[in-house]
Structure 1
Amino acid sequence: MKKLLFICSQNKLRSPTAEAVFAEYEGLETDSAGLDHYAEVPVSTEAIEWADIIFVMEQSHKRKLTKNYQAFLKDKKIICLDIPDEFSYMEPALIDILKKKVLPLLGTY
């Protein structure tokens, strides 16, 4: 079972979409969070420690995550998907981009 954590800014559009899409795949557990103080579900040290792979949507998310949670990121794989904040929740174009970028990185899908 691979545990995937998806992170964006507010945890309203991109990361919850990714969480929902990949939760449908056998062998994957998913969670999502946001880096902003007013995020729907703020990033927690527990979520970081739980995850096998952390996917961030933008380089700025990776920088902020590394700055604020460096002590918890040792040996964690952090992958930036470079997906801009221009999609709606569960928008088909966003789902297509997520699948094209994430599935090849997981190896078995």
Structure 2
Amino acid sequence: MSALPTRLLFICSRNKLRSPTAEAVLNGIDGVEAISAGTNNDSETPLSGDLIEWADAIYVMERQHQKKVTQKFRAQLKDKDLHILGIADDYRYMDPVLVTLIKRKFPRWFG
């Protein structure tokens, strides 16, 4: 019987560039299930309490995202790991520099 996958949730503002890139990069790892969402109402996939409850670990791109998530979903965040990646909104989707930055944040899977 195989172990359950590690479920990672990536959050940025509009869920168009950074968090979908992180989702794509980490979904390629055996034993990882990744999804992404945005804090803004006009996000491709708006963040919901269900997504937070689904996740084993939550990664936001910037401190402002942490504040929004914490204010809106305080109850669902109980017993959840919330991490700030510190990646500014300076990249295109799948930008090679962004992919490298994301991989560096996850040495467990990318050495």
Normalising by the smaller structure, the TM-score range is over 0.9
Cα distance in 1 between the residues matched to 2:97 and 2:109: 23
Number of the residue aligned with 2:13: 9
- Structure 2: runs of 5 or more not aligned: none
- Structure 1: runs of 5 or more not aligned: none
Matching of residues 75-94 of structure 1 within 5 Å: 75-94=79-98
Paired residue type of 1:53: A
Q: Percent identity?
A: 49
1:49 is the counterpart of 2:46: no
1:36 is the counterpart of 2:32: no
Larger helix share, 1 or 2: 1
Question: Alpha-carbon deviations, 1:62-109, whole Å to 9, x = none?
Answer: 0110000001000000000000000000000000000001x13xx455
Number of the residue aligned with 1:26: 30
* Corresponding residue pairs, total: 106
Aligned CA RMSD, in angstroms, stands at 0.9
TM-score (norm 2): 0.93
TM-score (norm 1): 0.94
